[in-house]
Amino acid sequence: MKERFKRYLEQQFRAIRPTLAAAEYREKVLRQLMDRAQELRIKGMDDDDLIYDKCIAELGDFGATLAAFDEEEHKVANTKRNALLGAVCGVGAVLALVVVYLIVSFLVDNSWGLTWLILVGGAFLGLIALAVVLLIKFGKAKKYIPMRLMPQLVIVLLCVYLFLLLQLVGHVEMAWLTFLVMVIMMAAFDAALAFITDFKFRWIELPIAIEIVCVMLYVIIGVVVGSAFWHPGWLLCLGGVVAGIAEAIVLIANRNKKKDKKEKVRLKDKYTKEDESYYTMWKD
């Protein structure tokens, strides 16, 4: 039996490159085949031909498995290279950032209180880059829930940094409004992604997002414009409810339209399509 398995594997492994990894893999598969054959014997199968056929059949499309193994070998090497390159670039970027931070801090008088923003900005930029990579990765893998978390992270980081800049550097009075804008952006982006990814509950999410945007706008405009806006500005808060009702009407209308169309086609086929053959034709 072992010799038969060996012969089979020798033949199959000729299709890929004769690397050390391939040799190790071949040994591993042989061991698996022998273990499986032994198991089948213990279970009560005593026909060598049947055992051999069953073991080989259980390997599935072994040619494809080997091709994938060969490709994976390449991939592993490439991944290792890319990881090393990424690590070197990362360390380089951190060092460069620290150098810039020190130079600016030393050259500009009384700047130690603000130059830490350079380091924070660099760290945020790194996190944003990571989030974008993950966004693409999750998107490709069609893992939409974690994918949708990534833009949220980016928006939060951008808004926090913008707030720090406005507050500490620009001394803008109402810099905190950035956080209200942040909520608007988060809701809007997520709703957009829900539609892009065909999220099951996108039509429920849409009026919720609109409601959030409306409330945030109401607060922002109210704060900026002043007391004159609060009333009748509150009407803006009904935006989500109005959008929800409008959406339900549109959805029902569309559904009915589709149904009508189908029914019309069916009735047209049934009553207007002339088919004289029916005079003599029966379903049996």
Enumerate binding residues for another protein (CB under 8 A): 40, 42-47, 49-50, 53-54, 262, 284
Question: From the CB of 248, what's the least distance to another protein, in Å?
Answer: 21
Question: From the CB of 255, what's the least distance to another protein, in Å?
Answer: 13
Question: From the CB of 207, what's the least distance to another protein, in Å?
Answer: 24
Q: List the one residue out of 101, 106, 97, 147 whose CA is nearest residue 125.
A: 97
Distance CA(56)–CA(232), nearest Å, equals: 77
Q: Are 138 and 147 in contact (CB under 8 A)?
A: yes
Pick the closer one to another protein by CB: 74 or 262: 262
Pick the closer one to another protein by CB: 274 or 282: 282
Q: Are 30 and 62 in contact (CB under 8 A)?
A: no
Distance CA(245)–CA(277), nearest Å, equals: 51
Distance CA(170)–CA(4), nearest Å, equals: 79
Question: From the CB of 54, what's the least distance to another protein, in Å?
Answer: 6
Distance CA(70)–CA(125), nearest Å, equals: 37
Pick the closer one to another protein by CB: 52 or 69: 52
Question: From the CB of 140, what's the least distance to another protein, in Å?
Answer: 27
Q: Which helix (H) or strand (E) holds 23?
A: helix 20-43
Distance CA(194)–CA(224), nearest Å, equals: 31
Pick the closer one to another protein by CB: 42 or 64: 42
Q: Are 207 and 240 in contact (CB under 8 A)?
A: yes
Q: List the one residue out of 72, 61, 3 whose CA is nearest residue 33.
A: 3
Question: From the CB of 267, what's the least distance to another protein, in Å?
Answer: 15
135 Cβ contact list (under 8 Å, min separation 6): 147, 150, 151
Pick the closer one to another protein by CB: 49 or 275: 49
Question: From the CB of 234, what's the least distance to another protein, in Å?
Answer: 38
Pick the closer one to another protein by CB: 60 or 226: 60
Largest Cα–Cα separation, the chain:
102
Question: From the CB of 46, what's the least distance to another protein, in Å?
Answer: 7
Pick the closer one to another protein by CB: 38 or 82: 38
Q: What are the tokens at 89?
A: 């670039």
Pick the closer one to another protein by CB: 47 or 72: 47
* Helix extents (H) in 108-143: 112-140
Q: Which helix (H) or strand (E) holds 11?
A: helix 2-13
Q: What are the tokens at 226?
A: 């002043």
